[in-house]
């Protein structure tokens, strides 16, 4: 048995030309997180002793994004990229020469730690030179095939283009994920020959090379969804759909109530407590935290925001970064909240913008209230105390403070601080002319007729 350190190589130097745009392939998002972030999150979860990311020259933006997920990451530059075998060769100096090297692709975001762990354990238990993760997706088009010998053991990996019809139908698909004996990798990676057609060195050839030297190789089947590789925009959208399906199911299994889970869009960093209700067509982005027992009503958009227990949001509400609702808060339709804290039991039920502010517990914010937080140059804060009543259509011109228990009359423009317990009202006097409506209508009708001629 050749147990020892676990190292990971993540290949991401490919051009990703099939994505047909300028963004590096592994910076495309699934669930709001770049593909490379999903893969590095996995290597961290696996507790890899070393992780090496293989990039091509000029891919600094990928390196920067990657480091946000793994600070200790090592980077190897493949210049120029000449295939997956060549990519691993470029990483050798950074890898241990004992134990197991896991090869992962930056474009395979759905892989789980438990599946990779199973692959590594199988290789070590059977002292195989290489263990390959195979899969049986509904459509295996484009994937390499795992060829087996008469005994049923893995004998070679054949790229899709080179596989005959029989192998395409019978062989498992190659997910690309491999667990390789570190010393054998070192010995064999240099022996991989150039594939003249594409001018590339295929890592997949390592299986046949190991077999020629009398070492065994094994295939381990994993869930096909986990091996889904992203080479095109269509496959990226498929990866998103598969990711969403899986996460929705996990949340349902954990006790989150979602009557129409297929309409709810989750982000990689969302956390939802058991018993929270997520109604139809809710979209989460970034680090959203929804407490157990909260309710997010239909068509709401929640990004980098927190919703406390027994709070209700929506329908049609938007919580932007830094919105923090404590317990029992009610936020209703067409309310937008950004960088603002709403204390226990506070209410903002209709058509309101609360930005850069704090609303104390028990306060009621009337319909159409706006915090005027931006003067064209800088953002300013609005501080509202506890149990304050803000009448409808109030403009709070920040910076401004409203003390606890104050009442602000509807339609007020609040340009200076309001003290605790005060009543504040700014209102132009109402002018009424008795019976004047009919006169006015006549005049307007005449003007319209004259215009028509």
Question: What residues line the site for ligand UD1 (CB under 6 A)?
Answer: 11-14, 54, 78, 81-84, 86-87, 105-108, 143-144, 157, 159, 173-176, 202-204, 229, 231
Cα–Cα distance for residue pair 385/201, rounded to 1 Å: 67
Nearest to 174 by CA among 192, 194, 193, 156: 156
Residue 382's Cα: distance from chain center in Å? 32
Residue 13 vs 278, nearer CB to ligand UD1: 13
Cβ pair 414, 390 in contact under 8 A? no
Minimum gap (Å) between residue 82 Cβ and ligand UD1 = 5
Cα–Cα distance for residue pair 418/420, rounded to 1 Å: 7
Residue 158 vs 384, nearer CB to ligand UD1: 158
Between the CA of residue 369 and those of 157, 302, 338, 349, what are the distances in Å?
A: 65, 20, 14, 10
Cα–Cα distance for residue pair 417/400, rounded to 1 Å: 5
Residue 106 vs 314, nearer CB to Ca ion: 106
Cβ pair 133, 123 in contact under 8 A? no
Residue 161 vs 249, nearer CB to ligand UD1: 161
Residue 231 vs 392, nearer CB to Ca ion: 231
Structure tokens at 54: 């293989």
Residue 78 interacts with, from Ca ion, ligand UD1, none (CB under 5-8 Å by kind): ligand UD1
- How many CB atoms sit inside 10 A of residue 211's CB? 18
HSE on the CB side for 347, CA within 13 Å?
A: 12
Minimum gap (Å) between residue 174 Cβ and ligand UD1 = 4
Residue 13 interacts with, from Ca ion, ligand UD1, none (CB under 5-8 Å by kind): ligand UD1
Binding to Ca ion (CB under 5 A) within 211-270 occurs at 229, 231
Q: Which one of residues 38, 69, 78, 107 is an interface residue with Ca ion (CB under 5 A)?
A: 107
Q: Binding mask 311-350 vs Ca ion (x if CB under 5 A, - otherwise)?
A: ----------------------------------------
- The one catalytic residue among 228, 281, 350, 380: 350
Cα–Cα distance for residue pair 289/287, rounded to 1 Å: 6
Structure tokens at 343: 């204390």
Minimum gap (Å) between residue 148 Cβ and ligand UD1 = 15
Minimum gap (Å) between residue 133 Cβ and ligand UD1 = 10
Residue 141 vs 253, nearer CB to ligand UD1: 141
Please, what is the angle between helix 113-125 and helix 35-45, to 10°? Answer: 50
Residue 155 vs 231, nearer CB to Ca ion: 231
Cβ pair 316, 296 in contact under 8 A? no
Cα–Cα distance for residue pair 179/187, rounded to 1 Å: 15
Residues 6 or more apart whose CB falls under 8 angstroms from that of 221 comprise 133, 134, 135, 136, 172
Residue 82 interacts with, from Ca ion, ligand UD1, none (CB under 5-8 Å by kind): ligand UD1
Burial of 196 (0-12, 13-18, 19+ CB in 10 A): exposed
Binding span for Ca ion by CB under 5 A among 89-97, 99-107, 310-318, 444-452:
99-107
Minimum gap (Å) between residue 202 Cβ and ligand UD1 = 4
* DSSP-derived pairing of the beta strands 413-414 and 382-384: unpaired
Residue 14 interacts with, from Ca ion, ligand UD1, none (CB under 5-8 Å by kind): ligand UD1
Cβ pair 269, 286 in contact under 8 A? yes
Which phi and psi angles does 345 have, rounded to 5°?
A: 75, 5
Which of 316-347 are b and which e, b meaning 16 or more Cβ less than 10 Å from the residue's Cβ?
ebbbbebbbbbbbbbbbbbbbbbbbbbbbbbb
Structure tokens at 77: 């530059």
Minimum gap (Å) between residue 25 Cβ and ligand UD1 = 7
Residue 46 interacts with, from Ca ion, ligand UD1, none (CB under 5-8 Å by kind): none
Minimum gap (Å) between residue 117 Cβ and Ca ion = 22
Minimum gap (Å) between residue 34 Cβ and Ca ion = 16
Residue 203 vs 282, nearer CB to ligand UD1: 203
Residue nearest to ligand UD1 (CB): 144
Catalytic site includes residue 350: yes
Cα–Cα distance for residue pair 101/380, rounded to 1 Å: 53
Contacting positions for Ca ion (CB under 5 A): 107, 229, 231
Which residues are annotated as catalytic? 350
């Amino acid at each position: 048995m050749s147990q020892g350190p676990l190292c990971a190589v993540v290949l991401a130097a490919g051009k990703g030309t099939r994505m047909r745009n300028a963004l590096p392939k592994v910076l495309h998002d699934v669930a709001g997180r770049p593909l490379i972030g999903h893969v590095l999150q996995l290597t961290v979860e696996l507790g890899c002793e070393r992780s090496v990311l293989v990039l091509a020259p000029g891919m600094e933006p990928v390196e920067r994004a990657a480091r946000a997920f793994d600070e200790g990451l090592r980077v190897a530059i493949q210049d120029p990229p000449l295939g997956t075998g060549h990519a691993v060769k470029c990483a050798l100096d950074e890898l241990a020469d004992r134990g197991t090297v896991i090869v992962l692709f930056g474009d395979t975001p759905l892989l789980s730690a438990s599946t990779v762990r199973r692959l590594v354990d199988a290789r070590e238990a059977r002292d195989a030179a290489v263990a390959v993760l195979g899969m049986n997706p509904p459509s295996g088009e484009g994937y390499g095939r795992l060829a087996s010998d008469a005994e049923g053991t893995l004998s070679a990996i054949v790229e899709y283009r080179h596989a005959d019809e029989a192998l395409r139908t019978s062989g498992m698909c190659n997910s690309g994920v491999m667990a390789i004996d570190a010393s054998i990798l070192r010995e064999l990676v240099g022996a991989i020959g150039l594939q003249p057609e594409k001018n590339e060195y295929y890592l997949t050839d390592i299986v046949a090379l190991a077999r020629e030297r009398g070492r065994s190789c094994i295939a381990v089947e994993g869930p096909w969804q986990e091996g889904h590789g992203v080479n095109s925009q269509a496959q990226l959208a498929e990866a998103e759909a598969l990711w969403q399906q899986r996460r929705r199911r996990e949340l349902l299994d954990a006790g989150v109530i979602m009557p129409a889970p297929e309409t709810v869009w989750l982000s990689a960093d969302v956390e939802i407590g058991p018993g929270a209700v997520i109604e139809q067509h809710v979209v989460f982005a970034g680090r959203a935290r929804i407490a157990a027992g909260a309710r997010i009503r239909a068509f709401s958009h929640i990004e980098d925001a927190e919703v406390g227990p027994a709070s209700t949001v929506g329908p049609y509400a938007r919580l932007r970064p830094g919105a923090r609702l404590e317990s029992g808060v009610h936020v209703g339709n067409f309310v937008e909240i950004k960088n603002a804290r709403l204390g226990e039991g506070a209410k903002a039920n209709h058509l309101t913008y609360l930005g850069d502010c704090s609303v104390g517990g028990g306060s009621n914010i009337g319909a159409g209230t706006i915090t005027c937080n931006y003067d064209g140059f800088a953002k300013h804060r609005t501080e509202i105390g506890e149990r304050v009543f803000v009448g409808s259509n109030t403009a709070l011109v920040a910076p401004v403070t409203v003390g606890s228990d104050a009442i602000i009359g509807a339609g007020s423009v609040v340009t200076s601080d309001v003290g605790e317990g005060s009543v504040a009202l700014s209102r132009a006097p109402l002018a009424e002319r008795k019976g004047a409506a009919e006169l006015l209508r006549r005049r307007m009708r005449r003007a319209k007729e004259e215009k028509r001629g």
